[in-house]
Amino acid sequence: MADDRDWLDKTRLLMTLRFGREPTEDDMVAHFMLCGPDQRIRISDTMDAERGEIGDGEDEMRKAAERGSLRQRYGEMHLAGLKASR
């Protein structure tokens, strides 16, 4: 059976299992900053590779907006981490 979940869904599920609650966007960004620069690049590349067609459904549009917002924050935090030599 194929797993239909994308990276974002898998990450949310793992963080929920680990912390016992649904992670907020701030939680995900804080966890992202704990990663090293190479891992942050891999995460960003994975998110970029999963971009695809956005369907007409309200859920798909909401999810695409959330993913775009999170990806933008990840990019900003990655650059801030590089400037701080982290």
19-76 per-position pLDDT tens digit:
899 999 999 999 999 999 999 999 999 888 887 777 778 888 888 888 889 999 999 9
Which residues are CB-neighbours of 27 under 8 A, at least 6 positions away?
15, 19
- Counting Cα atoms < 13 Å in the Cβ hemisphere of 78 gives 16
For position 54, what pLDDT does the model report?
Answer: 74
pLDDT above 80 for 2: no
